[in-house]
Amino acid sequence: MKDAALDLREIAHGLFLHSLEQCGVEQAFARKVNRVSGEHNESLLKLGDDVIDLGGIRRIRIVAVGKAASGMLNSLLPFFDVLPNCDISGVLITSHKPSNLPPGFQFFAGGHPTPNQASVDGAKAALDLVRSLRADTVGDALCFFLVSGGASAMMELPLDPAISLEDIVSFYRELVHSGGTIAEINCIRKHFSAIKGGRLAMEAEGLSSYSILVSDVPSDRLDSLGSGPTLPDTSTVEECSELLARYGLMERFPASVRRFFASEAFCETPKPRRLHARVLTLLSADDTAVIAKQCAAELGFYAVIDNTCDDWDYRAVAEYLLNRLSELRKEHSRVCLISSGEVSVELPGPVLIPNEAGGAERRGVGGRNQHFALYVATLLKASDASVVVLSAGTDGVDGNSSAAGAIVDEKTLHGDEESLIRARTALRHFDSGTFLQEAGLSIVTGPTGNNLRDLRILLATATS
């Protein structure tokens, strides 16, 4: 007879892959962006509830940035085929250069999770593109901003031009390791940057512009996506200062960054009353969760979405979701608990793992999904039901590993004291990826060209 836990692992993995497939950028464009044909006008473009008349447009400029930037750009451009005489150009900032880079577009291989020189050069090119369009006020132009997860690091330019790239990277590294939520981290990034927190959109003031988003942030904090380069900012200088103090960041930052946050250049970002943005959210983490729930229900599971624990510490998330799963199992024999969003993992600084053979020390391998999954495995015990827990990133990348995440069950560590000790050691060294890969529990998809936050799927069935 086939192992029930193995069956559940296959089901959880299938639910994750199905969600990725159904939440493709191309499919989302087909659902939410349409060309409207009329008796007297063949050039109306419908973006969600908004309709744009392309009839008089002679210039279109596009800034596409983030992990889904190439797919978004390729899906948008065909809608302009009805404008053969239109001048279309732009800036594409993403991890990998597409094989079919459209003519007229500059490409920059922006860094992630920390900026690189291309991130800075791309930010400058995006500003120049918008400024040059704004300088010519003929009124026959459109500007599109295509923003997706990863944009914060891939496009960066400090308000203080004296801050070096080395110091920018150090600033980002300390933020990522601070243990702050994505909204908190991006609040600080917004007030540091000349392009974030609505400042790119302010350069397009007076132009007809639209933002199309593939979101990897909570649905009520869209201005955190990519640190909100084209949306009015709801965070404040006061909030930013409080976060810097709460996480003890000032003493961890390079001197140039400390000087900036102590200077008059540290100022408010554009607020809703000053900046009006036209926005279409193409995809969000809610979409992946809903699709996984629908598919699980079709397979006979009692399926529930619970995002209560979004942005919590990974330990609190693990305990909360396992408790919730236990409660659901009291009333249902087949349960699927789905949670989208992210967990936070605070790193105390560089953690080096000694090489017992006398070789060089190395950094741990993994990311928040694998760290969470391995911690869950230490909590699972033999019980009256089979339990499987999957946690993976929809971008196909988890931290500094080649995996998207991992999948564990009640048998991963139970009854094996040596494996339990090694798992706890891996957690202390932030080396969960190495442990899970060796155990054959990693989920590897490769970069997906999309980013809709992380997805956690917990399955439980009664044992026969």
Cα dihedral sign for 396, 399, 402, 405? negative
Residue 458: strand pairing partners: 337, 389
Q: Which domain holds residue 345?
A: 4-18+286-462
Beta-ladder partners of 283:
214
What confidence category does residue 462 fall into, taking pLDDT thresholds of 50, 70 and 90? confident
My answer on whether 208 and 332 are in the same domain is: no
* Confidence tier at 332 by pLDDT (50, 70, 90): very high
Other beta carbons less than 10 A from residue 16's beta carbon: 24
Query: Which token pair is 131?
Result: 């400024």
Whether 28 is covered by a domain: the verdict is no
> Residue 387 sits in a domain of what CATH number?
3.40.1480.10
Same domain, 62 and 160: yes
Mean per-residue pLDDT, 273-300: 92
Higher pLDDT, 215 or 350: 215
Calpha distance 293→297 (Å, rounded): 6
HEC letters along 426-447: HHHCCCHHHHHHHCCCEECCCC
- pLDDT value at 428 more than 70: yes
- Residue that terminates a domain, selected from 283, 301, 329: 283
pLDDT-above-90 percentage for the chain: 70
278 is a domain residue:
yes
Tell me: do 411 and 263 sit in the same domain. no
Q: What is the pLDDT of residue 180?
A: 86
If one counts the domains in the chain, the total is 2
Q: Tell me which of 249, 283, 317 is where a domain ends.
A: 283
In a domain, 369, yes or no: yes
My answer on whether 413 and 440 are in the same domain is: yes
Do 200 and 65 share a structural domain?
yes
Please state the rounded mean pLDDT for residues 189-198.
97
**Residue that is last in its domain, among 248, 283, 318:** 283
Q: 177 and 221, same structural domain?
A: yes
